[in-house]
Structure 1
Amino acid sequence: MKALHTLSQSTLGLIVCIAVGALCGVFAEPAGAAAYFVGQMYLAVVNMAAIPLLVVATFFGLRQVIALPRPRTRIGMMLLVAFGLVVLGSVAGTLIGVMAGPGQDLSATARAQLGRLVLQSASSAEDVQVALFDHGAAAAAGASFVGVGDIFPDNFYRVLAQGHSLGIFTATILFGLAFAALSREQTGTLSSVFEGVYRALETIIARANLLLPVLAFGVAAHLVANTEAATLHAMSSFLVCFGLASCALGGLALVTIAVRAGQPFMQVLSQLKAPLLVGLTSGSATAPIPHTIEALSQRLGFSRGVVELVVPFGSVFVRAGAALYYALAAVFVANLYNRPLGAGEILIVCAASVIAALVSAGQGGVASVGYMGIVLSMLNLPVEAAGVLFVTLDLICEGPRNALSLLSACMVIALVSAGLPSERHAAVEATGGVARLDTTLRFTFTRGQLALATGCLMTVASLIVLLGIGVGAR
C-alpha cells in the first residue's frame, strides 16, 4: 500500500510504469491485459462516486459561496469566465489547426492507412443521422445527443440513474438554491449529512487513486497491444499539435494561477503536481477532485467555498480541453479530405466545438468521441471518420484533455476567488491593530536579579520613610 502511494505521487514512478507496461504489451500481453482489467475496475469505482460527489459538492459549495460577499456577482463571473475559457480552447484549437495544418502533408502510405480504416468502418456500418437535439419521432431513425428531458428533467432519479450530467446539474442547482435560502437552524441536520457524504466520497476517490500505477501500466500495455504503429504514425501530426497546444494553454493557466496566488510558478506547479498526475494518468475528470481541493484551498490559499463549488462543477462542465480537441480534430479531418476552410467555416468550427464540448459534459473516454460528429456534420464531412480514426487515439488524448480542463477550472477559481495575497493582507489589516494592543510583555528574572531588585526596592522604601520622618520632625 505504501509503495502504491509513493508511485501514485511520483512523476518518475508513473513514467516507469508506462514504459514497463508498453514493453509488456509487446512481450507479455496477458500481464498487461490483467493490469488493464484492474485499471477499469478503478475507473468504475471513481465513476461510481463521481455523480454523487458532484451533487453533494454543489449543494455544499453553493451554500458557502452564497455566504461570501457579493455572491451573485461572484457566481455570474464564475460562469462567464468558465464559458470564456471553453471558447478560448475552441478558438485556439481552430487557429492552431489552420496554421499548423495537421493532416495536410501526409505521405501516400499514411493516407492509404487512414483511408483503409475509414473504408472498413463505412463498409461495416449503416448510415447514421446525427442530430444535436431530440425531436421525438423525427429522430427515431437517427442518433440524437440531447433531449429536452435531459436538460430539464421531469424525473431527477431518471437522469441520475442514466448519468445525464446536464439534467443532474439543472436539478441540483434548483435544489441547492432552495437549500441555501433556508436558515442554518432549519438545515443543520441535513448539512451534517451532506458534509459526511461529501468527505466519504472524497475518501473513496482518494483511496482508489492508489491504483494509478496499475492503471498506467495496464493502459500502456493495452494501447501498444491493440494499436497499429502505422495508424499512430499517420495521426502523428494531430497528436503533436494537440500535445503542444495543450501544454501552451496549460502553461498560460499556471501562470495566471501563480500571479493570482502571489507565489512562484514552480511552487504553484509543485502544489498542483498531484492532481495533474491523477488527471493525466487516470483518464477520469473526477478522480483529481480531492487533490485539487486540498491544493487550491490549503496550499494556495484560495477561498474554500469557491474551490468546493468550482472544482466539482469544473470537472464536468469547464471542458476547455474537449473544445480544443474537437476543433483540432475537425480541422484535421477537413485537411485529410482536402477541404479548405474559409472564414465562415472557421467560425462554424469554433462555435460547433464549444457546443460539442458543453453537450458532452459528463462523458469521458470513447463516448466523448461521438460528439465530434456535431462539428463534422456542420461541415458536411464524414462523421464515420471521427469514430474510426480517433477512437484508437482516445487513450492517448484523454490525459492531456482532462489536465487542460482541470487547469481551466483552477484558473476560474484564481480569477473569481480573492486568493491568497488579498485575503492574507485583509486578515493582517483587520487583526493587526488588535494584535498589537493585545501583545503581552513578559519579564523574566534570575534569582540573583530578583534579590538585587528586592534589595533596591527595600532601600528606596527605607529612604522614603526616613525622608518622611525628617520632614515631619522639622
Structure 2
Amino acid sequence: MNFSRIYAFVLNPWVVIGSLALGGALGLALPEASQKLALIGDIYVGLLKMTTLPFMISAVIFSLQRLFRDGGASRLLVRVVGVFAGASAIVALVGAAVLLVLHPGANLSSATMQAFGLMIGNDPAAGDTTMNLYGADTPPTSLSFSDVLTSLVPTNIFAALASGDALKTLVFALLFGLAVGRVPERISTGLSQSLETIYHACQKLMHWLSYPLPLILICMSAAQLGKSGVGPLHAMLQFVVAFFVASAVLVVLAAAIIWKRSTHGLGATLDALRAPFALALATRNSAACMPSMIESLVDGLGFARARVELLVPLTVSLLRVGPMVYYVCATLFIAQLYGHTLGVVEVATVLLASVLAGFASAGMTGLVTVSLVGMTCAYLRLPFEAAFILFLAVDPLCDMLRTLILVIGNAAAVAVICPRPLKI
C-alpha cells in the first residue's frame, strides 16, 4: 500500500473543502443525529493536543542547544524582533483596510437588524432590537501590561504542564534551553538524544493522525451546523465575508513570501504547504500544526532545521497574527454597527490595541480569544458585551480562518527570519 499517496490525498485542499461541504450538508439534513458526531471531533483534537506540549518542549530546548553551539544567537534575536514588529503592523493594516473599504457593519437591512435583536435579546419583537443593541453596558475590563507579564511566569512548571498552559510551558522551555546551551556538550549529550527521540516520536504520531482527516472533517462540520444551523451565519454574513477577504489576502501574501524566500517554484511551495493548511482548517489549533509546519519548511522547502525547530514554536505561541487581524476587524465592525465614526487617530488606536490584545492572547483559545475584543473596544468606549453573542455564533468559522492566518503567516515569518536555503 502506497501510504505517501494516501497522505497526499487526505491533505489535498479540495478533499478538505469537499469534506467540510459534505459534513455541512449532513448537519443541515440530519441536525439531531449530526450533533452526536461532535464526540469524534473532540477525541481527534484531544489526540493532537496530547502531543503538543512534549513536542514543543523537546523542539525548543534541543534547537536552542544547537543554536548556541553553532553561534549567531544575538543576530537571530534582532531578526525575530524586527519580523514580529513588521508582521504585526502588516496584518493590522490589511484588516483595517478591508473593513474600511467593505463597511460590513454599515447600512444593514432591517431583516438583519431584527436577526441581531433576536440573537442578542432572544426576543421576537423587532422593536426591541434598538434597545438591545444600544442599551447600557457594563464597562469592559482590560488587561494591564503587568497582568500580561505576570501571566508569562511559570511559577510551577508541572502545574503548567498539567493544565496545558502552552505559553508558560514555552517560557520554561526557552529559559531551560538557554541554560542547557551553556552546559558543556559532554554533559548534555544524553539529554539531547532523549529530546530528539521525543521530538521525532511526536512528529511521527502527528503524521499518523493525518490519515483519517477527511472523516474527521465531515464529523466536525456536521456536528457544528447541526447544532447552530445557518441562521447565525446569515445574520453575520457581511462580517464573515469581510473577515474572509482579509484572511484570503493575508494567506496569499504569506504564501508569496514563503515562495520568494525559498528556492522552489510556486507549485512546489504550495504543495509543501498543503499539510499545515489542511490541519489548520481541521483542528483550529495552531499548536497542533507545528509538526507539519516544521516538516513543510524543512523537508519540503529546505530551510535550516535548527532554526525552524526553534522559531516555529516561538512564533506560533507569541506572534498571534490571526487574533490580531480578527480584533481589528471585530472592533471596526462593532464601531460601524453602532454608527461610531472613526478618525485617523481612532483607527490608529484600534490597530495598536489589537496588536497588544493579540500578544495578550498568547496561550488562549476559542471563546477566551474572542472575549479579548472587549479589550480593544474599551479604548473607543464601544459596548462589546451586547455584541458578544453575535461573534460567538460565527466563531467556529472565524476560528478556522484565525488559525489558518496564524499557521501560514507564521510559516512566512519563519521563512523571513531563517537564511534562504541553498539552491539545489
| Deviation of the 1:107 alpha carbon | 0.4
Matched, 1:32 2:34: yes
Residues 382 and 7 of structure 1, relative CA distance in 2, 3 Å threshold: farther
- 1:88-99 alignment, distance < 5 Å: 88-99=90-101
The residue number in structure 1 matching 2:201 is 200
- AA paired with 1:306? R
Matched, 1:108 2:106: no
The residue number in structure 1 matching 2:127 is none
Contact 2:91 2:325 in 1 (8 A): yes
| Deviation of the 1:228 alpha carbon | 4.4
Greater displacement, 348-357 / 261-270:
261-270
The residue number in structure 1 matching 2:356 is 355
Residues 31 and 406 of structure 1, relative CA distance in 2, 3 Å threshold: same
Greater displacement, 152-161 / 401-410:
152-161
The residue number in structure 1 matching 2:141 is 130
Aligned-partner Cα distance in 1 for 2:35–2:7: 22
Aligned-partner Cα distance in 2 for 1:119–1:30: 25
SS of the equivalent of 2:211 reads helix
| Deviation of the 1:103 alpha carbon | 1.0
The residue number in structure 2 matching 1:62 is 64
Write out per-residue CA displacement over residues 362-415 of structure 1, whole angstroms, 9 at most, x where no aligned residue: 222223111211111222112224531111211112222212111222212221
1:44 aligned residue (43, 46, 70): 46
Aligned-partner Cα distance in 2 for 1:222–1:333: 29
| Deviation of the 1:318 alpha carbon | 2.1
- 1:378-457 alignment, distance < 5 Å: 378-421=379-422
Aligned-partner Cα distance in 2 for 1:309–1:147: 23
The residue number in structure 2 matching 1:440 is none
| Deviation of the 1:241 alpha carbon | 1.4
Residues 205 and 387 of structure 1, relative CA distance in 2, 3 Å threshold: farther
Contact 2:99 2:329 in 1 (8 A): yes
SS of the equivalent of 1:63 reads helix
The residue number in structure 1 matching 2:174 is 173
- AA paired with 1:167? K
| Deviation of the 1:112 alpha carbon | 1.6
- AA paired with 1:405? L
Aligned-partner Cα distance in 1 for 2:260–2:7: 31
Contact 1:257 1:268 in 2 (8 A): yes
Aligned-partner Cα distance in 2 for 1:418–1:237: 41
- 1:302-381 alignment, distance < 5 Å: 302-381=303-382
| Deviation of the 1:42 alpha carbon | 0.9
The residue number in structure 1 matching 2:19 is 17
- AA paired with 1:130? T
Matched, 1:224 2:225: yes
Aligned-partner Cα distance in 1 for 2:219–2:85: 35
Matched, 1:53 2:55: yes
Aligned-partner Cα distance in 2 for 1:202–1:353: 33
Aligned-partner Cα distance in 1 for 2:20–2:57: 34
Runs of 4 or more consecutive aligned structure 1 residues displaced over 4 Å after TM superposition: 1-7, 120-123, 126-129
Contact 2:35 2:227 in 1 (8 A): no
Structure 1, gaps ≥5 residues long: 136-145, 425-474
Contact 2:35 2:226 in 1 (8 A): no
Q: Relative contact order, CA 8 A, sep 6+: which one is greater? A: 2
SS of the equivalent of 1:341 reads coil
Aligned-partner Cα distance in 2 for 1:69–1:250: 33
Aligned-partner Cα distance in 1 for 2:360–2:148: 11
| Deviation of the 1:219 alpha carbon | 2.5
SS of the equivalent of 2:238 reads helix
Greater displacement, 403-412 / 149-158:
149-158
Residues 276 and 147 of structure 1, relative CA distance in 2, 3 Å threshold: closer
The residue number in structure 2 matching 1:191 is 192
Aligned-partner Cα distance in 2 for 1:414–1:225: 40
Contact 2:370 2:391 in 1 (8 A): yes
SS of the equivalent of 1:187 reads helix
The residue number in structure 2 matching 1:150 is 151
Residues 393 and 400 of structure 1, relative CA distance in 2, 3 Å threshold: same
Greater displacement, 221-230 / 300-309:
221-230
The residue number in structure 1 matching 2:75 is 73
Greater displacement, 15-24 / 242-251:
15-24
| Deviation of the 1:120 alpha carbon | 4.2
| Deviation of the 1:308 alpha carbon | 0.6
- AA paired with 2:14? L
- 1:239-278 alignment, distance < 5 Å: 239-278=240-279
- AA paired with 1:267? A
Residues 361 and 127 of structure 1, relative CA distance in 2, 3 Å threshold: same
Write out per-residue CA displacement over residues 134-166 of structure 1, whole angstroms, 9 at most, x where no aligned residue: 98xxxxxxxxxx465422233222333333343
Write out per-residue CA displacement over residues 323-382 of structure 1, whole angstroms, 9 at most, x where no aligned residue: 111100111111111111112211111111111111111222223111211111222112
TM-score of the aligned structures, taking structure 1 as reference length? 0.80
The residue number in structure 1 matching 2:296 is 295
- AA paired with 2:286? A
The residue number in structure 1 matching 2:128 is none
Contact 2:24 2:225 in 1 (8 A): yes
Aligned-partner Cα distance in 2 for 1:42–1:368: 22
Compare CA radii of gyration and give the structure with the larger one: 1
TM-score of the aligned structures, taking structure 2 as reference length? 0.89
Contact 2:140 2:378 in 1 (8 A): no
- AA paired with 1:132? L
Aligned-partner Cα distance in 1 for 2:215–2:375: 35
Residues 223 and 358 of structure 1, relative CA distance in 2, 3 Å threshold: same
| Deviation of the 1:49 alpha carbon | 1.9
Write out per-residue CA displacement over residues 57-106 of structure 1, whole angstroms, 9 at most, x where no aligned residue: 11112222333452211132123202321232122212321222111121
| Deviation of the 1:47 alpha carbon | 1.8
Structure 2, gaps ≥5 residues long: 124-131
Q: Number of aligned residue pairs: give it.
A: 412
